[in-house]
Chains A and B, each alone.
With several copies, the nearest count.
Chain A
Amino acid sequence: MEAIIQIRCSLFARYAELAGCDSITVDVPEGATVEAAVAAVRERMPNGEQLPDRPMVAVNLEHAMPGTKLRQGDELALLPPLAGG
């Protein structure tokens, strides 16, 4: 049987405002991709349908690709378009 892991996904700025919260935890199969976890977040999060198709993502404080695989304990984050400076 496939192991299930919990992934905590942090939300920032306009995404946090959209969801009305700072983080969402989703259950995904071990080894699921970032893309699959984002799909789970989109489904679970209030107003998740308003997220862009492919939001910018970080895993463990690093920018990550949709194909990156996730393990138990990884920290996911959805990043709205950056606007620093």
Chain B
Amino acid sequence: MTFLGRDPIDIADLAARVSDPGHGGTAIFVGTVRRSPDDGPVVAIDYSGYEEMAESELVQILGQTQERWPGARVALQHRLGRIVVGEASVAVAVSTPHRAQAFEACRYVVEELKKRVPIWKKELMEDGQTRWSDDGDREEAAK
């Protein structure tokens, strides 16, 4: 199973992958490259990763999610390479029998991903300059 890829993220496919006749709630998070009003004119972000380790961390996160919410079905895709403003860089879908758990488990996966998975972003500005984005999550910080 591979969580990283270069192709655009297909949300409907991700939702379909967690579909289960016993599950009534699916929560999906989609992270998108954004043009922040305070940080200058970002046009795209180049995503790179320590791919082997990122896959391994993601396997662990999904395992821990299933321990914590037994029976939860989780699908995740993180895109690498150049992603322009407005396109999705990551999507997480979680289905559970009831909706509260789907929201909680989906949030958990996203927070763990941010904390643990070795992926980096280099911002490309309108004027051709680049900037490593490691002073917080520009395109969708926690607060």
Contact = CB atoms under 8 A, between A and B. Distances in A.
Interface of A: 10, 12-14, 17, 58, 61-63, 77, 79-85
A12 B54 contact: no
Contacts of B52: 61
A81 B89 CA distance: 18
B38 to A, nearest CB: 17
A80 B90 CA distance: 20
A13 B48 contact: yes
A80 B53 contact: no
Which of A77, A80, A83 has the most chain B CB atoms closer than 10 A to its own CB? A83
A13 B132 contact: yes
Given A12-B120, A13-B122, A58-B118, A81 B53 contact: no
Nearest to A56: B118
B53 A82 contact: no
A85 B90 contact: yes
Nearest to B117: A84
Contacts of B116: 63, 82
A57 to B, nearest CB: 11
B78 A80 contact: no
Contacts of B114: 82, 84-85
B118 A79 contact: yes
A68 to B, nearest CB: 15
5 contacts: A13-B122, A14-B120, A61-B52, A61-B56, A84-B78
Nearest to B58: A84
Contacts of A12: 48-50, 118, 120
Nearest to B47: A84
B133 interface: yes
B134 interface: yes
B110 interface: yes
Contacts of A79: 50, 118
